[in-house]
Amino acid sequence: MVREYERDFTRIVELIPFAVRDEYHKARLFVRGLRPNIRLLIASHGAISFGECLDRAMMVQSKSEEVRSDRDASERSGDRKRSHEKSSGGSSLTTAPAEHLEEGSCDLGSPTGVQDATRQAFGYPVSKPQQQCSPKHRRSTKWFPRRAEEEEEEEEEAEDVAAAASPSAACVKLLLYCFSKIDEDLCLPVPQGQPRVSFLDRLLEEWDDRKVRGLFHHDIAACETKVLPGKHNFIIVLIEGRDLKKRPTEFRIDEVLQPFDGDKFNFTKIGQEELIFRFEESSNGKAGYFQSAPIMSSSSPNIIAINVSPIAHGHVLLIPRILDFLPQRIDCQSFLLAMYMVKAARNPYFRMGYNSLGAFATINHLHFQGYYLEVKFPVEKVPTRIIATVGSGVNVAELLEYPVRGLVFEGGKNMLDLSDTVSSACIFLQESNRPFNVLFSECGKRIFLLLQCYAMKQAHGKVSPEILETRVNPACWELGGHFALKRRKDFDEASEEGICKFLAQVALSEQEFQLVKESILKSLSGGPAGKKNTGEML
């Protein structure tokens, strides 16, 4: 009956098109009219387009019919057995004839149930049934209004099924990678005695497996890529329509710190097939993989999942303590976890990034991104000038001769020193309501803290229409020099001059950057270790 409901629903949408804002809103309206067992399973996937919603509903209905068929066959087998026992002098219990079970049942060909479902989707009251069906018939009729207790029972059953398909299930089994905190050397070959299959090799292998399964919105390997000639050699890739397939942003753009909202999309709603493995600290100091490590209900694992709208090979998400439902805000522990992940890759071409709210993070559930791209980023090649040394010898430098203004952190006694210094700067910025992006480079040896104000300029109408038409949202990758373009025209006409003009709209003014920079250094140099540098060039 999903198909019949979809036809009626589509007719109404055609008659009152203003009732639907976009494909995602259309999907949400459509879900309202589905049966609870289907509705809950569809809702567990978060924001999806109408086409995806319809496909999932049809799939769930097909599976439900298989289960119902098996159950009815089992019941008929039981009825035959009891009838045989009675005829042979067995049980004296009476059984109602089949004709009695169908007495007073509704017409299966009647469109009443489908019409009610469609009315419910748009918020109108549903019609009351004119006759009562037997409980057995009500269970087998998809759109017939049911008693509240039956619907509640079905919803509980559907919730159990949905829970089993989510990462919050009591015992989902995932591949586990245990990272080591002992070896502080970065970007070195895997030592002898370590696993033959490296962290990065297995990550890319699992990512490729999800590609074969068809879980991505597009094939990134088939997307055109080129490096622009010029001083910076910006990298651009053409992914037509990528912005239409991504999940929509569901929060304010003018507040960097916002509370977690469980009613909006979060990563516990993604499909289990999108999860790659857990990423946890080793208990014995040795790194390695473990097959099918259970997630117990009391734990909140660190999860690595695919990004279903990738812009490069191996594009993944790191979701720290996924079941703690942390909002998108930096804390020292999670930042250090990202440092250990980029270190575990042992390859400078695997980078990680972070986007704050207001700097084009699209989901308010704490996450970092990472991917493999075998080319040097433009921001990694520009000269820098040391402006301070803080903490245990962490050098703070500023970018020179680059269209985006920002700071570069490196050095320190160990990775923990560097991580604490950069995360402290990020915490200062987010508490000051300053949007920012972070790029983890060279296996965590260099961290770029990039400042921007594009979203606020956009909101106040200060961005030129020509730039707005490109529909490029500048996050950590774009600020680093890697751009995903959505239109063929922009890709064909792209130039370094045009990219620099765009990034100039993103960057803080020189005066504002100097004020923010001094505030960051002041916050980091509160202790006796902090000191100003005379301006040594790197």
- Would you state the torsion angle of the CA atoms of residues 508, 509, 512, 515, taken in this order, to the nearest 10 degrees? 90
What residue type is 64 in one-letter code?
A: S
- Helix, strand, coil percent content, the chain, rounded in steps of 5: 40, 15, 40
CA 512, 515, 519, 525 torsion-angle sign = positive
- Name the DSSP letter for residue 145: -
Distance separating alpha carbons of residues 69 and 211, to the nearest angstrom: 34
Tokens of 460: 């106040």
What residue type is 119 in one-letter code?
A: R
Find, among 22, 296, 52, the residue nearest to 167 by Cα: 296
Choose, from 45, 232, 365, 367, the residue flagged as catalytic: 367
367 is catalytic: yes
- Quickly tell me which residue has 């902090």 as its tokens: 530
Distance separating alpha carbons of residues 391 and 289, to the nearest angstrom: 34
Tokens of 464: 């030129």
Find, among 309, 280, 310, the residue nearest to 296 by Cα: 280
Q: For residue 449, what are the β-bridge partners?
A: 407, 438
- Would you state the torsion angle of the CA atoms of residues 438, 442, 443, 446, taken in this order, to the nearest 10 degrees? -50
Catalytic residues: 367
